[in-house]
Amino acid sequence: MKHPPTNRDAEPHGAFAAARPDAARTADFGFQAVPEADKAHRVGAVFSSVAPRYDLMNDLMSGGMHRLWKTFAVELCALRPGERVLDVAAGTGDLALKLWPRVMPAGEVVLADINEAMLLRGRDRLLDAGMPAGAIRCDAERMPFVSDHFDCITIGFGLRNVTRKENALREMHRMLRAGGRLIVLEFSRVHRALAPLYDAYSFGVLPLLGRLVAGDAASYRYLAESIRVHPDQNQLRDLFVRAGFERADYFNLAAGMVAVHRGFKLG
Ligand SMILES: C[S@@+](CC[C@H](N)C(=O)[O-])C[C@H]1O[C@@H](n2cnc3c(N)ncnc32)[C@H](O)[C@@H]1O
């Protein structure tokens, strides 16, 4: 299997050096403000805890709808055989499993995730399905790949967890070739008519499900809180534009509970 070129050995410079967390600044961790330098560890603890039951919980929490949302996101990638695609925050590999058949036999799929437990499950699921893919553990804010390499980058339900989203978006823009596209699938702002019901579900039912199924209520409370502090549809589109993406747009799914953002690197 071909491995993508990386700049892992390079000294931090440019965007890499600037991406180091600042101990004096804070980041949101759900509804808490924590030192920027601590957020990635806390998010890491959440995903190490939920990894064994992650796929089951996704089905239970969304009634299986996350599968349709992921299929829609992959459709928007408009992939062709032979293309190179990077799935950032790949987790247990749901998106990568759908991406792989669209670019093979001559293409390339790489999974990247900051969390070893999630990444290993993702890599193993692809291998079990006969879909070998590269898997690299790294932070979305400091990715070890060369510039102008990928035709498409996806990130599903991952951006919300990244400490400085603007750094991750700039990184993804850097790694795309001209004409490449970024697809972000993420929780977003639900239509206001549904907000009370959605709040009752996410702050009442989700932590309870988390406790019963994964033995961890706190991580699912974090999930509900992190959705509330994540940029809404228009704010995220603005972040795309600031990171250099063009023709940025989005598609609401399930009344805005989830949105898929798309942006292109044109030059
Ligand atoms: C909710 S899971 C999504 C997994 C998968 N993409 C999916 O759609 O099912 C979020 C993933 O983001 C990863 N993650 C969190 N912060 C990250 C970061 N800064 N860089 C890379 N991955 C990160 C977590 O380890 C976790 O695997």
What SS3 state is found at 40?
helix
Indicate if ligand 1 lies below 6 Å from the C-beta of 95.
yes
Element (H, E) at 135: strand 134-137
Q: How many CB atoms lie within 10 A of CB 142?
A: 17
Q: Please tell me the distance between residue 155's alpha carbon and the centre of ligand 1 in angstroms.
A: 8
Which comes out higher in pLDDT, residue 231 or 5?
231
Give every CB contact of residue 229 below 8 A, 6+ residues apart in sequence: 28, 30, 31
pTM of the model: 0.92
Question: In this model, does residue 112 exceed pLDDT 80?
Answer: yes
Q: How many CB atoms lie within 10 A of CB 47?
A: 21
The whole-angstrom distance between residue 180's C-alpha and the CA centroid of its chain comes to: 17
Question: In this model, does residue 13 exceed pLDDT 80?
Answer: no
For residues 185 and 157, what is the distance between their CA atoms, to the nearest angstrom? Answer: 6
For residues 265 and 31, what is the distance between their CA atoms, to the nearest angstrom? Answer: 33
**Tokens standing for residue 138:** 């790294």
Per-residue confidence (pLDDT) for residue 81, from 0 to 100:
98
In SS3 terms, 159-181 reads as HHHCCCHHHHHHHHHHHEEEEEE
Testing ligand 1's pocket by substitution, the residue of 114, 116, 126 carrying the most ligand atoms inside 8 A of its CB is 114
Residue whose CA lies nearest to ligand 1 atom number 26: 91
The DSSP result for 73-101, as a single string, is HHHHH---TT-EEEEET-TT-HHHHHHHH
What SS3 state is found at 248?
strand
4 band by pLDDT with thresholds 50, 70 and 90: low
Per-residue confidence (pLDDT) for residue 24, from 0 to 100:
77
Omega before 35 cis (within 30°)?
A: no
Mean pLDDT of 53-77: 96
Indicate if ligand 1 lies below 6 Å from the C-beta of 114.
yes
Indicate if ligand 1 lies below 6 Å from the C-beta of 171.
no
For residues 242 and 16, what is the distance between their CA atoms, to the nearest angstrom? Answer: 18
Percent of the chain predicted with pLDDT > 90: 88
Per-residue confidence (pLDDT) for residue 12, from 0 to 100:
37
